Structure 1
Amino acid sequence: MEIERKYLISHIPFDIAGYPFHQIEQAYLSTAPVVRVRQEDDTYYLTYKSKGLMAREEYNLPLTKESYEHLRSKADGRILTKKRYLIPMEGTEYTIELDIFLGEYEGLKLAEVEFPSEEAAHAFVPPEWFGREVTFTGEYQNSRLALAEKLVLKTKE
């Protein structure tokens, strides 16, 4: 079970250069249900996600590079690329996954925080630098971004 909340970010008030990150490329084979393939650095996998916004089932299966490339060629919509920074959240056990999008969505920044339970997710108080929460709208789900005709970046609250 994946339980997460997602926020738009307009300004990062500190230097992220020293934080670890992953280079991510992902493509969607289906959006209902969500089936995607992802390259994260030198690791490849296929992911199935059930319906849902804050909480949903998620299953990952490892792929070879060749399988990934074959499936990526069958993708619907655009292939998303981003740099994902892993930022420990001070005073908590949580890690902020800060996605800085590249390519067609350059300029888009989203922060996600994963939780051990729905209760913990509902109790979460985001840092002041987080912008508008988009968890429950679904408008910034990656599967939607892959198929969107044009995204208007609305980072202000």
Structure 2
Amino acid sequence: MEIERKFLIKYLPDNLEKYACIAIEQAYLSTDPVVRVRKSNDNYTLTYKSKGFLSREEYNMPLTKDSYYHLREKADGNIISKKRYLIPYDSNLTIELDLFLEPFETLMLAEVEFDSEEQAKAFIPPDWFEKDVTFSKEYHNSYLSSKIFNV
């Protein structure tokens, strides 16, 4: 089960370069249900996500590099590319800060995953977070894959 909240970003935190960064590329084979392939640095996965916003089922299966590129060719729409910074927060949480590349280069989103819905609802975001977009489908990567999005 994935339990997460998403936020737009007002400004980037200081010293961003000191945090771990992952280069992510993902393509969608289906958006209903969500089935995607992802390259995360040198790791490759096939993911299924159920419908939902705050909570939803998520299953990840490993892929080989060859399988990833084979399936990527079958994807529809935009391939999403982004840099993900992993920022430790509040002793046991990690902020996943996504800085998107073309065609969404002005989009900056932060995701925070939680152990429970209660923990998610009680979360107080840092000052550099802006609008909570957890319940806005327009900020799901699967939605972005089929749209040209201007922020």
TM over 0.5: yes
5 Å matches for 1:104-115? 104-115=103-114
What SS does structure 2 have at the residue aligned with 1:105? coil
Q: Does 1:30 align with 2:30?
A: yes
Q: Deviations over 1:92-129 (max 9, x none)?
A: 31000000101211121100000000010011111111
Q: Deviations over 1:25-66 (max 9, x none)?
A: 000000000000000000001000000011000000000011
Give, as a single letter, the amino acid of the residue that structure 2 aligns with 1:107: T
Match of 2:150 in 1: 152
* Separation (CA, whole Å) in 2 of partners of 1:67 and 1:43: 12
What SS does structure 2 have at the residue aligned with 1:17? helix
CA RMSD of aligned residues (A): 0.8
Instruction: Indicate conservation of the 8 Å contact 2:104/2:150, yes or no.
Output: no
What SS does structure 2 have at the residue aligned with 1:122? helix
Structure 2: runs of 5+ lacking an equivalent: none
Match of 1:77 in 2: 77
Q: Which has the higher strand share?
A: 2
5 Å matches for 1:88-107? 88-89=88-89, 91-107=90-106
Percent of counterpart pairs with the same letter? 61
What SS does structure 2 have at the residue aligned with 1:52? coil
* Separation (CA, whole Å) in 2 of partners of 1:49 and 1:101: 21
The alpha carbon displacement at 1:13 in A equals 3.5
Give, as a single letter, the amino acid of the residue that structure 2 aligns with 1:25: E
TM-score normalized by the length of structure 1: 0.94
* Separation (CA, whole Å) in 2 of partners of 1:102 and 1:41: 15
* Separation (CA, whole Å) in 2 of partners of 1:74 and 1:12: 35
Structure 1: runs of 5+ lacking an equivalent: none
* Separation (CA, whole Å) in 1 of partners of 2:150 and 2:58: 28
